[in-house]
């Protein structure tokens, strides 16, 4: 503590003359800072650190709330590898993520590019695109069942207008995930806002001089705009990937819970849903904890790969 | 980015967050004076094409909304018809839903949870953010790194042990677990608010200190009022998050009298949707009731929502 005492003198006091006083001030600052931070410290210890340790331990036990946990070593992890539903739900989640994230980034970027060119009307359209984001995910799940209904849903009615006989989105295993992806694109509003803010920060004179040099709109977008907003593209990609890996509410609302017996659809069984079922419906809490750690590792690895790849693709100003 | 942050915080403290790119550029754009020449004067047809494309997209985005609200006023037999104006207008669904489910109770539960969760997380996160932003103390950066690191942890990892804590405290089955965790601040908001505090001019606080304000007063009467825009963003984000949450109610609530609206809506989908009695008109109506407060929230704080999201994006 003594070594850092000098750092606390913020307003140009000379260190040598007031050193004892400064040290006292530093101690008081440290005490006050810790008081202000204390809610987080308590929360971290009780609701993060302890649960993390507990969860790691639980993943090595059989625990069902009613009986004491029983140590089983790595059994849950072995079981997990052998459980076909774990593999299936992970496969579903990976496929959903691979479909959703690129579509999410492409659609929100396209909308933002349009908005950026819309002049005064952009405020209105931005509101329109953002509004669906306010819809509670449960309502989105319910809406999915209605709008994507195979016979009477809006989507298939719209497709019928152009002569396409739409699939049974909510019951045909091959079409459930594409349907959920399309539904999720309805709520890209937040990403649109992020991209629009990034686009507005692109220096105008850069685009203008490119125009004078004869660059067309496409060349300008590709060589100037996209590189300059690449940090935002990276951010949206990472965040939406993490979200896609944990997708739960929309699909759970539409296909699982008390209604699962009738139409519970294996194609919509995402990893988080199976984890929730194992933990809170079958009370296999040890097994569910093991599943949670596997999810953590998968998400961590995917994020690290994205960070690694981004080093080559993302342009940070002042970098090079 | 820090230069922008300063101007955002000092010259117009009441307008918006100190977004790096958020609040400042859009306003310049809207005046029209600094518009890029390429879209306006030179190629009016390009602008027209843009507006047409945007309008088409807007119809796609709005249609499900309008259809949903409209369907809630249709009788059961017409719910799936495509008419945006109901052929037969009826309030029966709203009456029926009030009779078939404890709607009033669900709304009250959700309001209570939302208010407590929002107040708790906003105040404590501001405290923690202030602790990290104003003071210099040994280990500060490492500790703040830890705050950021906790954001990487998927909720699934802590979900079960957290349930065990509330269960051991006898709170499972009550509304407490839905909000009380918010008394301990939240990493994301701490990050957001700290960023804002750092953008405020330090002289203000030194001056207040010289005038004799103690540390608590400095935070409560000087820093917090200056931080109002960021507090509003935090409160709006959290109000939305806790109003719409399904996971925690699924974990903790069993008795239908304790349900929040999303949990109630899920119960209605189970009862009246697939595998149930096929009363889609009730599901539609419950969806509208669940959604409308969020739409109101958005229109109340639209600018803060948009600026807040833009900030989180440009800080990344």
Q: Look at residue B19 and tell me if it is in a domain.
A: no
Instruction: Compute the distance between CA of residue B218 and CA of residue A146 in angstroms, rounded to an integer.
Output: 54
* Residues B293, B244 contacting (CB under 8 angstroms): no
Residues of the domain holding B163: 99-315
In this structure, the answer to whether residues A104 and A209 fall within a common structural domain is: yes
Q: Look at residue B45 and tell me if it is in a domain.
A: no
3-state SS assignment for residue A70: strand
In this structure, the answer to whether residues A22 and A153 fall within a common structural domain is: no
Q: Look at residue B17 and tell me if it is in a domain.
A: no
In this structure, the answer to whether residues A165 and A309 fall within a common structural domain is: yes
Contact (CB<8Å) A139/B265: yes
pTM score = 0.87
What is the pLDDT, as a whole number, of residue B44? 78
Q: Look at residue A248 and tell me if it is in a domain.
A: yes
Contact (CB<8Å) A119/B314: no
Low-confidence stretches of chain A (pLDDT beneath 70): 1-19, 259-264, 317-320
Would an 8 Å CB–CB cutoff place B96 in contact with chain A?
A: no
In this structure, the answer to whether residues A83 and A30 fall within a common structural domain is: no
Q: Look at residue A34 and tell me if it is in a domain.
A: yes
- B155 to chain A: which residues are within 8 Å by CB? 246
What is the pLDDT, as a whole number, of residue A4? 41
Instruction: Compute the distance between CA of residue B14 and CA of residue B23 in angstroms, rounded to an integer.
Output: 11
- A32 to chain B: which residues are within 8 Å by CB? 131, 135, 215
In this structure, the answer to whether residues A87 and A180 fall within a common structural domain is: yes
What is the pLDDT, as a whole number, of residue B40? 43
| Token pair in block for residue B78 | 């017409």
What is the pLDDT, as a whole number, of residue A318? 57
Alpha helices in A201-319 (DSSP H): 204-212, 217-220, 226-245, 249-255, 260-263, 271-276, 285-313
Contact (CB<8Å) B135/A262: no
Q: Look at residue B264 and tell me if it is in a domain.
A: yes
Question: How does strand A61-62 pair with strand A70-71?
Answer: antiparallel
What is the pLDDT, as a whole number, of residue B254? 92
The position carrying tokens 């076909």 is A84
In this structure, the answer to whether residues A256 and A205 fall within a common structural domain is: yes
Q: Look at residue A68 and tell me if it is in a domain.
A: no
* Residues B23, B15 contacting (CB under 8 angstroms): yes
Partner residue facing A4 (CB), from B138, B185, B219: B138
| Token pair in block for residue B306 | 């948009």
User: What ipTM goes with this model?
Assistant: 0.87
CATH number of residue A117's parent domain: 1.10.3720.10
Instruction: Compute the distance between CA of residue A183 and CA of residue A140 in angstroms, rounded to an integer.
Output: 8
3-state SS assignment for residue B33: coil
In this structure, the answer to whether residues A190 and A234 fall within a common structural domain is: yes
What is the pLDDT, as a whole number, of residue A28? 87
Q: Look at residue B5 and tell me if it is in a domain.
A: no
What is the pLDDT, as a whole number, of residue A37? 97
Q: Look at residue B41 and tell me if it is in a domain.
A: no
Low-confidence stretches of chain B (pLDDT beneath 50): 1-41, 316
CATH number of residue B135's parent domain: 1.10.3720.10
Give the number of other Cβ atoms within 10 Å of residue B208's Cβ. Answer: 16
CA angle A282, A285, A290 (to 5 degrees): 120
In this structure, the answer to whether residues A90 and A143 fall within a common structural domain is: yes
3-state SS assignment for residue A314: coil
Q: Which residue of A has its CA nearest to B168?
A: A65
Task: Report the residue of B123, B160, B242 to disrupt the A interface, i.e. the one with the largest count of A CBs within 10 Å.
Answer: B160
Task: Report the residue of A90, A117, A243 to disrupt the B interface, i.e. the one with the largest count of B CBs within 10 Å.
Answer: A117
What is the pLDDT, as a whole number, of residue B315? 54
What is the pLDDT, as a whole number, of residue A17? 52
Q: Look at residue B77 and tell me if it is in a domain.
A: no
In this structure, the answer to whether residues A170 and A245 fall within a common structural domain is: yes
State how far residue A50 is from chain B, nearest Cα, in angstroms. 8
In this structure, the answer to whether residues A169 and A113 fall within a common structural domain is: yes
Q: Give the tens place of pLDDT for each residue, A183-240.
A: 999 999 999 999 999 999 999 888 889 888 888 888 898 889 999 999 999 999 999 9
Q: Give the tens place of pLDDT for each residue, B220-249.
A: 999 999 999 999 999 999 999 999 999 999
Residues of the domain holding A43: 2-58
What is the pLDDT, as a whole number, of residue A259? 56
In this structure, the answer to whether residues A19 and A165 fall within a common structural domain is: no
Q: Look at residue A320 and tell me if it is in a domain.
A: no
Q: Look at residue B10 and tell me if it is in a domain.
A: no
What is the pLDDT, as a whole number, of residue B39? 45
Q: Look at residue A66 and tell me if it is in a domain.
A: no
Q: What is the dihedral of CA A50, A56, A57, A59, to 10 degrees?
A: 140
Number of domains in chain A: 2
Number of domains in chain B: 1
In this structure, the answer to whether residues A171 and A212 fall within a common structural domain is: yes
């Amino acid at each position: 503590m003594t070594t850092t005492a000098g750092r606390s003198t913020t307003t140009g006091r000379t260190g040598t003359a007031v050193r004892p006083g400064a040290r006292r001030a530093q101690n008081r600052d440290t005490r006050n800072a810790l008081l202000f931070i204390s809610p987080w410290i308590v929360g971290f210890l009780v609701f993060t650190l302890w649960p993390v340790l507990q969860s790691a331990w639980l993943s090595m036990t059989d625990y069902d709330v009613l009986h004491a946990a029983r140590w089983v070593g790595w059994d849950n992890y072995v079981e997990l590898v052998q459980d076909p539903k774990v593999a299936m739900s992970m496969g579903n989640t990976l496929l959903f993520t691979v479909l959703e994230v690129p579509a999410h980034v492409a659609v929100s970027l396209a909308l933002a590019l349009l908005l950026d060119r819309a002049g005064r009307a952009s405020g209105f359209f931005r509101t329109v695109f953002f509004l669906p984001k306010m819809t509670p995910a449960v309502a989105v799940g319910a809406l999915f069942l209605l709008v994507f209904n195979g016979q009477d849903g809006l989507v298939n009615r719209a497709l019928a207008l152009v002569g396409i006989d739409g699939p049974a989105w909510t019951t045909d295993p091959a079409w459930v995930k594409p349907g959920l992806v399309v539904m999720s694109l309805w709520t890209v509003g937040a990403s649109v806002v992020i991209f629009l803010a990034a686009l507005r920060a692109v220096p105008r004179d850069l685009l203008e001089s490119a125009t004078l040099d004869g660059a067309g709109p496409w060349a300008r977008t590709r060589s100037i705009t996209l590189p300059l907003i690449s940090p935002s593209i990276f951010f949206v990609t990472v965040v939406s990937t993490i979200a896609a890996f944990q997708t739960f509410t929309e699909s759970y609302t539409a296909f699982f819970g008390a209604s699962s017996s009738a139409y519970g659809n294996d194609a919509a069984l995402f990893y988080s849903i199976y984890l929730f079922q194992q933990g809170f419906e079958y009370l296999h809490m040890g097994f569910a904890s093991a599943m949670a750690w596997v999810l953590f590792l998968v998400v961590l690895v995917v994020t690290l790969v994205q960070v690694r790849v981004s080093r080559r693709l993302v342009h940070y100003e002042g970098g090079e | 980015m820090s230069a922008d942050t300063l101007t955002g915080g000092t010259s117009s403290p009441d307008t918006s967050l100190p977004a790096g790119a958020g609040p400042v550029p859009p306003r310049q754009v809207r005046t029209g004076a600094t518009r890029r020449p390429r879209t306006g004067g030179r190629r009016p047809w390009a602008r027209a094409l843009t507006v047409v494309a945007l309008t088409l997209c807007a119809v796609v985005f709005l249609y499900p909304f309008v259809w949903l609200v409209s369907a809630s006023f249709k009788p059961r037999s017409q719910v799936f018809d495509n008419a945006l104006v109901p052929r037969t207008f009826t309030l029966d669904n709203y009456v029926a839903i009030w009779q078939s489910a404890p709607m009033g109770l669900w709304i009250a539960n959700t309001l209570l949870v939302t208010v407590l969760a929002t107040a708790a997380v906003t105040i404590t996160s501001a405290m923690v953010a202030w602790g990290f932003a104003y003071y210099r103390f040994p280990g500060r950066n490492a500790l703040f790194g830890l705050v950021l690191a906790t954001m990487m942890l998927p909720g699934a990892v802590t979900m079960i042990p957290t349930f065990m804590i509330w269960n051991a405290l006898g709170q499972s089955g009550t509304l407490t677990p839905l909000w009380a965790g918010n008394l301990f601040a939240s990493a994301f908001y701490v990050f957001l608010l700290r960023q804002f505090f750092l953008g405020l001019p330090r002289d203000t606080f030194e001056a207040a200190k010289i005038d004799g304000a103690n540390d608590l007063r400095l935070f409560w009467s000087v820093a917090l009022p200056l931080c109002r825009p960021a507090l509003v963003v935090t409160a709006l984000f959290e109000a939305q998050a806790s109003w719409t949450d399904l996971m925690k109610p699924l974990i903790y609530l069993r008795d239908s009298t304790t349900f929040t609206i999303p949990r109630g809506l899920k119960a209605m989908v189970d009862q009246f949707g697939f595998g149930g009695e096929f009363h889609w008109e009730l599901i539609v109506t419950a969806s509208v009731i669940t959604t409308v407060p969020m739409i109101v929230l958005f229109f109340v704080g639209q600018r803060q929502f948009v600026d807040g999201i833009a900030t989180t994006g440009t800080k990344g």
